[in-house]
Chain A
């Protein structure tokens, strides 16, 4: 699976959009981009994933560059409960396994 690079930490004001970048310059054509988040001492929570097109769901939007070498997770109106570590993961989607390789992620702190 391709390696990802994320900033160690970011801050965001409550109510503003949080834009979390991820670099995955060695991504292969059959690798998806996944985002998970982990609130302290809890299990990670799936947020969103995409292959080539931008994606949006009730939690966030995922913007993937045309060359697929980077992506941005957007939380449109961050709340204090969005404070968490956010993990960007790229992986091959296989029918015979779904291994996730976690890096150290980005600690997002939403400030009042």
Chain B
């Protein structure tokens, strides 16, 4: 099946630890995105990448880092510098060019205590 996978679905970490969230797509999409969602709110863009080995900060990049070494993978690291890391994290991708809809993964719910 083609799609976007995120793992794990639930993740628990202690405060002060870095944690990496996985996002993989087999849709041959060029662009990939990471969003954060807090309860009762819409999605906010963390980072995005339009091509391998290149990425840009979104609206709330502080405390996060990404890499794009392969077209199909865009892992997100939540560092200890992120003050409120507990949230629902969503990965998305789309073909380059416009207008193209974004396809979203199922999300990872991160809880930091």
Contacts and interface: CB of A to CB of B under 8 A. Distances in A.
Contact of A104 (B40, B50, B97, B101): B40
B58 interface: yes
22 contacts: A34-B99, A34-B101, A41-B107, A43-B90, A43-B92, A43-B105, A43-B107, A46-B101, A46-B102, A93-B98, A93-B99, A95-B97, A97-B56, A98-B94, A98-B98, A98-B102, A99-B48, A100-B45, A100-B102, A101-B45, A102-B42, A104-B40
Contact of B43 (A41, A49, A102): A102
A105 B92 CA distance: 18
Given A95-B98, A97-B31, A44 B104 contact: yes
A34 B107 CA distance: 21
A93 B94 CA distance: 12
Given A44-B102, A100-B45, A103-B42, 15 more contacts: A42-B106, A42-B107, A43-B4, A44-B90, A44-B104, A46-B102, A49-B101, A93-B98, A95-B96, A95-B98, A97-B50, A98-B94, A98-B98, A99-B33, A99-B58
Contacts, number: 63
Interface string A81-100: 00000010000011111111
Contact of B31 (A46, A49, A98): A98
Contacts of A103: 42
Interface of B: 4, 31, 33, 35, 40-45, 48, 50, 56, 58, 88, 90, 92, 94, 96-107, 109
Most chain B CB within 10 A, of A46, A93, A104, is at A46
